[in-house]
Chain A
Amino acid sequence: MVRAAWLAALAACAPSLDDDTAIVRGPRLLAARTEPAEVAPGATITASALWVDPLAGAGLAGGDAPLAWAFCTARKAFREPGPVAAACLADEAPELVPFGTGEVATGAVPPTACRQFGPDAPDPVPGEAPGRPVDPDGTGGFYQPVRVRAGDEHALDQVRIRCGLPGATPAQAAELRAGYTPNANPEIAAMLVGGVDVVAAAAPVAADAGRTVELALRWPACEAAPCGGSEPYLWFDPVSRTIARRREAMRVSWFATAGAFATGHGGRREDELATDATGAWTAPPEPGDVQLWAVLRDDRGGTAWIAFAITVR
């Protein structure tokens, strides 16, 4: 009784918001990736997107995706919120370097990426003291922003770039250079719906209307990089200022055109060695085909996805 009253009091403090982004109700970019997943400045990448449009019926995704790709060269001030400068989300801006349209595009990462978005000192400004390098992310990585214009919407992708090591001794830099393997995009080893692997199944998997089915996405076990699973990698710990070995965390996002997920995300922390993430999807009450997607991301910017259908009966 007391517990219920206490929880009710707390619940009254937080609003109830429509927070179910796992159900796709209109055209959306669900994911993007580049191949290779990590490159040096100047290297060519192939970017692709998971663009879906449930209103387009059977198409759902495809070559007609209204996507426009551009590298962004604008640095972000500390005062600016978000991961990139506002100019990177503009339709047109001098800092945007277009490199293709459509679901897949190919372009060369700007050669200045490590100065603009990495540990190298930025281009000097006449009369001013040296500029401040960009801080790495929690995995020691740096990223070249990529703007993806999708219709009237904008999305942001970031290409992991291989740069030097800031603030380390030459010996540490050499150790990291020798032992570091650039990130590879993850791979999906199996996608199980109610225990049935949709990759291997010849026909769409069926589910009863209103029933909940278990989902499980698997990736390969990975002992050494490069691989399609949770890769081990070296990084420079800025706190202890030492080179350390760690493993990628993996995250799965679930999407569907109907039904409901228990939770839209799952995954494994870097200290978890399991090679799968599970979820639960409840079929809608109406019969019909439902399109689902699972997007797998490692925490160094690698991405993979799978699309599959479930027939609701």
Chain B
Amino acid sequence: MRWAPLAIVAAVAAPARAEVTRAPAIAKFVPAVYPPDERAAGREAKVVAQVDIGADGAVVAASVVESAGQAFDDAALAAIRQFEFTPAEIDGAPASVRILYAYEFKLDTVVEARRDGELAGVVRDRATGAPLAGVTVALDGGLAAVTDERGAFAFPSVPPGTRTLTLSSSAITAVQTRETVEAGRRLEVVYDVALAPAAGEPADADDLEIVVTAPVLERATAAVSVAAGVARRVPGTGGDVVKVVESMPGVARAAAGSGQLVVWGASPDDTRVYVDGVRIPRLYHTGGLRSVLAADLVRSIELVPGGWGAEHGRSLGGLVDIQLVPLGGDTAGVVAVDALDGAGAVRFAATDRVRVAAAARRSHLGWLIAQATDRDTGDLVPIPSYVDGQLRVGYEASRRTRFEAAAIGAFDRVDRSVASGDPAMTRSDRADAGFWRAWGSVHRDAADGAAVDVVVFGGADAATRREQFGGRPTELDVATNVYGARASWRRTSGRAAVAIGLDAEVFDAHLGRTGAVTVPAREGDLRVFGQPPPDQLAADAWRVVGASAAPYAQVDVALWGGRAHVVPGLRFEPFLVSASRRTPVAGATPSVGLFAESTTLQPRLAARVDVSPRVRVSAAAGRYHQAPQPEDLSAVFGNPALPIAAATHLVAGVAVRWSSLVSTEVTAFATRSDRLAVRSPSANPRLAQALEPIGTGAATGVQALVRRELAHGVFGWLSYTLSRATRTDAPGAAARLFDFDQTHVLTALVSWDLGRGVEVGVRARYATGAPRTPVVGSYFDNRTDRFQPRFGAHNSERLPAFAQLDARIAKRFRVQGGDAEVYLDLQNATDRDNAEEIVYSTDFRTRGAIRGLPILPVAGARWSW
């Protein structure tokens, strides 16, 4: 049985202009007796009652205003008359009030156990950030609470699932939103609401600003999460919420146009990206201009650079976990266009149980440039083109069970050619890359409080590269089918929250490659930007099938009244890898394949202690494993016998909430990885061992995040990472700097809502230049008629430091029943020359730097309804 306050309908015996400064909140709830005859008949009902509450909080009178029949009416009134409330206040003084209550009789409530999700939050004045007391926060299903003088409210026990919340009081415009509460987890939210307009004032277009803050360090010791609504306003991202990852601590600045994600000294391939639990191969389209997901279907982005729990594996580096917006019953849509692309997204309820969301995007930058310039401009500078799309259909079978089917995909192309009268300098380059994923998922909140999630997915990744440089081909074809499933069961029992699950993934990759063994370059290769590839020519076609199914278990044990948590976890993961060819093709000799099995036990341990209500100390450690890349298992270009690489993460941090708005997190980290595949150092490499698993890596550092949540229209953060990442390329070899090592990475950003729909923001970035190996001389190579470089010490110099200021200004207004926004994203606002790469003259006697783009204004507009 549930009850819900509907409204305060009157202040009893109060002056006519009095204001309710504190709403009554239920202090004692008495369940009604379900009428036996009605239960036997399987009937449910809702009774709406008018309740007079005295100044002392006692129920003075109750009467039915919406009847559900005599039996239900009597049972409801009998229960309501036993309720006790905290006294209401009018103009600051306790007073009698009259309210309406809805009392619902649900058959399932008889056996319903108390559930264990927790929802807490703060309601604030959007304009001033001041806490709002007396706001009634009502959950669907009957739970309600009233905010205290700090604006805080809490539901210590909330049935898991997607819940509708209604915020109402005499001071605000009533608003409604939805939250997803998970069993055994605490969800903290901040609602910035607009005060009800005074007579004659227009209503604000956005009555509710929601900031969902994951519990500090709840999920992983170093996780950083940003809600989509905030991420969209970050300057320099062009409104792409996913690109906010670049501004998070622990992330090295990617070279312009690379779109690479380098986290805590891990190679870009070592960081995994998940969308609603489904792994996708990459986060960005080619060139890093855009993410592969529609911004308006993203709910939040979380980066876990290391030390994560047992539920994830198969990577040595970080995790990017993107949560899509829950499929609600509302209808909304958006169309957006800027210099890069045009996009649209829509979501609606097809029926009262079926919800649909769809989005699509197509780039037009290349087309725009072609209209404005000659074709040869695009040929000189590769302009990527891309499309992506998402479709999701959700079905809410019941309050406890929901299903979802979804598909996402993205496709990129870069195509250019450079003609030359010199046959050695003609160049053409075409790269296609695409992927799609389709999945079905089910979420079930069991009656005993457990939560079960199952997702089954399939998809394909494809990448093709055709490059000719002076007649020297470099070709790569990769077509991979991937299948996987994740299943988890979570339940809180007493002081322990238990999660067990299975994480399985299978891939079947068909690969073909032509060109020099050393192209494309790997991390650690000595190279000069823009040089022609070596003219050795090898070719191979191979197939790799890999599988792993990892059962895992994790227990969150609460100690000292919940102030401390210890979270041990264990992941048992056998890796199976099959390569089609053990050695290169030799004449008509049949191929002999290779099958390898490697079982790993991956312990994880995390602990956190709330030293005070504001301070949390945490630590985590874990062992992680990653299968070799299929591209590295060629008998010609790599080594089919590469083993599973491994890494150890150690993380420790402290988080301080200075206030409800400002927090600081400082995290120290150390990672060690081994059995990394590196090029064979031998001048006499063995057959099928162009790569050897003899590399090691190390990264140590500390990262800090000072964050101000959205209030008074202002949000921002400052992230800083101090780190050192090194590699060794052979046992006993001296450590060298990791190719992507950046000692200092600093990002500071602030966004300010000036009112009247005008918003401005700036982002400042600084990053130490990435290491490079200097060219100290050259020699003439007669056969190729080209000078060849002589290199100095490996990675012994750096690119100049990078510094850039981005700015954003936006204006929102109402248009034709919707909200429109126009914005100008000014990248490199100070027009600073940033060196992106070192280039040399033909004979390597002089050198210069390729500069990043000059000041670049990107204008765009979006209309949402």
Contacts and interface: CB of A to CB of B under 8 A. Distances in A.
B537 A137 contact: yes
Interface stretch (B158-166, B543-551, B685-693, B758-766): B685-693
Contact of A7 (B373, B678, B852): B373
Contacts of B16: none
A268 B536 CA distance: 21
B683 A29 contact: no
Contacts of B377: 3, 6-7, 10
**Counting chain B CB atoms within 10 Å of each CB, which of A77, A130, A253 scores highest?**
A77
A159 B428 CA distance: 29
Contact of A135 (B524, B536, B729, B845): B536
B690 A83 contact: no
A266 B422 contact: yes
A119 to B, nearest CB: 11
Interface stretch (B210-218, B229-237, B311-319, B512-520): B512-520
Contact of B514 (A3, A9, A10, A239): A239
Interface stretch (A17-25, A55-63, A97-105): A17-25
B14 interface: no
Contacts of B851: 12-15
A32 B788 contact: no
B730 to A, nearest CB: 9
A123 to B, nearest CB: 8
Nearest to A159: B783
Contacts of A9: 853-854, 856
A18 B848 CA distance: 10
Given A18-B846, A138-B472, A81 B782 contact: no
Contacts of A14: 839, 850-851
Interface string A188-201: 00000000000000
A169 B587 contact: yes
Interface in B825-865: 836, 839-843, 845-854, 856
A77 B373 contact: no
Contacts of B535: 83, 137-138
* Most chain B Cβ neighbours within 10 Å, of A74, A295, A299: A299
A7 B851 CA distance: 14
Contacts of A170: 587
Dominant secondary structure of chain B at its interface with chain A: loop
B848 A17 contact: yes
A1 to B, nearest CB: 9
B779 A125 contact: no
Nearest to B372: A2
Interface string B398-424: 000000000000000000000001111
A77 B848 contact: no
B687 A17 contact: no
A80 B373 CA distance: 42
A66 interface: no
A206 interface: no
A16 B848 contact: yes
A155 B539 contact: no
Given A15-B839, A131-B685, A238-B538, A78 B848 contact: no
A12 B854 contact: yes
A122 interface: yes
Contacts of A267: 421-424
Interface in B674-689: 678-689
A64 interface: no
Interface in A256-313: 263, 265-270, 277-278, 295, 297, 299, 301, 303
Contacts of A218: none
Contacts of B426: 269
Nearest to A158: B783
Given A75-B683, A79-B681, A155-B781, A10 B584 contact: no
B527 A130 contact: no
Given A2-B373, A253-B785, A10 B381 contact: yes
A195 to B, nearest CB: 19
Contacts of B789: 81-82
Given A3-B377, A167-B587, A169-B587, A81 B526 contact: yes
B586 interface: yes
B727 to A, nearest CB: 12
Contacts of A78: 517-518, 679-680, 685, 690
Contacts of B849: 15
A278 B160 CA distance: 78
A162 interface: no
B797 to A, nearest CB: 16
Contacts of B517: 78, 135
A213 B422 CA distance: 19
B525 interface: yes
Given A138-B473, A169-B587, A169-B588, A79 B729 contact: yes
B585 A251 contact: no
Nearest to A16: B848
Given A155-B782, A295-B785, A138 B841 contact: no
A39 interface: no
Given A79-B729, A156-B779, A157-B782, A138 B684 contact: no
Contacts of A238: 514, 537-539
B475 to A, nearest CB: 8
A33 B684 CA distance: 28
Contact of B471 (A81, A270, A278): A270
Contact of B853 (A13, A134, A153): A13
A68 interface: no
B611 interface: no
A48 B780 CA distance: 15
Contacts of B219: none
Residue of B527, B688, B781 with most chain A CB atoms under a 10 A cut-off = B781
A269 B423 CA distance: 5
Nearest to A153: B779
B850 A32 contact: no
B70 interface: no
Nearest to B518: A78
Contact of B782 (A136, A268, A269, A303): A303
A85 interface: yes
A130 B687 contact: yes
A217 interface: no
B785 A13 contact: no
Contacts of B683: 74-77, 80, 85
B369 interface: yes
A14 B425 CA distance: 18
B793 to A, nearest CB: 13
B778 to A, nearest CB: 9
Contact of A131 (B534, B686, B791): B686
A260 to B, nearest CB: 15
B840 to A, nearest CB: 7
Given A10-B377, A132-B685, A239-B514, A17 B847 contact: yes
Nearest to B422: A265
Given A3-B373, A135-B538, A157-B783, A251 B423 contact: yes
B537, B678, B685 — most chain A CB neighbours (10 Å): B537
9 contacts: A6-B369, A15-B851, A21-B841, A29-B780, A81-B526, A83-B783, A89-B790, A263-B421, A265-B422
Given A3-B372, A267-B421, 7 more contacts: A10-B381, A81-B526, A81-B791, A130-B686, A154-B779, A169-B588, A295-B785
Q: Which are the 10 A-B pairs with shortest beta-carbon distances?
A: A15-B848, A265-B422, A238-B539, A135-B536, A81-B526, A155-B780, A3-B373, A2-B372, A17-B841, A75-B683
Interface of A: 2-3, 6-7, 9-10, 12-19, 21, 28-29, 31-33, 74-83, 85-86, 89, 122-123, 125, 128-132, 134-138, 143, 148, 153-158, 166-170, 172, 238-239, 241, 249-251, 253, 263, 265-270, 277-278, 295, 297, 299, 301, 303
Interface of B: 369, 372-374, 377, 380-381, 421-426, 471-473, 514, 516-518, 524-527, 534-539, 584-588, 678-690, 729, 779-785, 787-791, 836, 839-843, 845-854, 856
